[in-house]
Amino acid sequence: MKAPNIAPAYVTLYPGMCEVARECGYALALHGSLATDMDCIAVAWTKQAASLDQLLKRLESYITLVFPGAELSEAEQKPHGRVAWNFNIGNGAQIDLSVIAPHPTA
- pLDDT tens for residues 59-104? 999 999 999 999 999 999 999 999 999 999 998 899 999 999 998 7
Give the single-character DSSP code of 66: H
Taking residues 31-48, report their average pLDDT.
93
The domain spans of the chain are 7-100
Q: If 0-12 CB within 10 Å is exposed, 13-18 middle and 19+ buried, where does residue 35 land?
A: exposed
Length of the chain: 106
Of residues 9 and 70, more confidence is placed in 70
Helix (H) or strand (E) holding 30, with range, is strand 26-31
Q: Which fold has domain 7-100?
A: Beta Polymerase; domain 2 (3.30.460)
Q: If 0-12 CB within 10 Å is exposed, 13-18 middle and 19+ buried, where does residue 72 land?
A: middle
CB 103 within 8 A of CB 46: no
pLDDT averaged over the chain?
94
Taking residues 39-55, report their average pLDDT.
97
